[in-house]
Amino acid sequence: MSYEIVFDVKRGDFDKAGEASRKIKHTLQQLGVTNKIVRKIAIAGYEGEMNLAIHSLGGKILLEVGESKLTLTIEDVGPGIPDIDLAMTQGWSTAGDEVRQMGFGAGMGLPNMVRNADEFDITSQVDVGTKIVMSFLL
């Protein structure tokens, strides 16, 4: 059996940010996914959700539950990343003071996603958007 769930994330909505990840975590727990894998997906998904709220113009998180793997797709509608290699560098961030005061924007988000996912792919086009696909093997 497989199915999909989609969550919307709005730009700058730090009051709601985190809700999608909590729902994803809860869903996976109900499905009986092991604690270790749930934690990896929850952390990677939450970093992605915060990135949508912090950096994007808004976007979606898609959770696909398959037989042998779970896939999280995080896609936004801009503004796109001009230099992906730079954005992937640990410690590099364009986040402002408001975000840093919340404890984010330290340049660890994308590296944290790579660290937790079994497969990671990122594509981006300036003025179009960014798409991240992460897979987690069951």
Q: Note the residues at the interface with other proteins (CB under 8 A).
A: 14-15, 17-18, 21-22, 25, 35, 39, 42-43, 45-47, 50, 101-104, 106-109, 111-112, 115
CA distance 42 to 27: 11
Write down the least CB distance from residue 21 to other proteins, Å.
6
Write down the least CB distance from residue 74 to other proteins, Å.
15
* Closest to other proteins by CB, 14 or 62: 14
For residue 102, the one-letter residue type is M
Write down the least CB distance from residue 46 to other proteins, Å.
5
* Closest to other proteins by CB, 25 or 55: 25
Tokens of 135: 């897979």
Phi-psi region of 134 (alpha: psi -120 to 50; beta: other; left: phi over 0): beta
The Cβ of residue 80 has, within 10 Å, a number of other Cβ atoms equal to 18
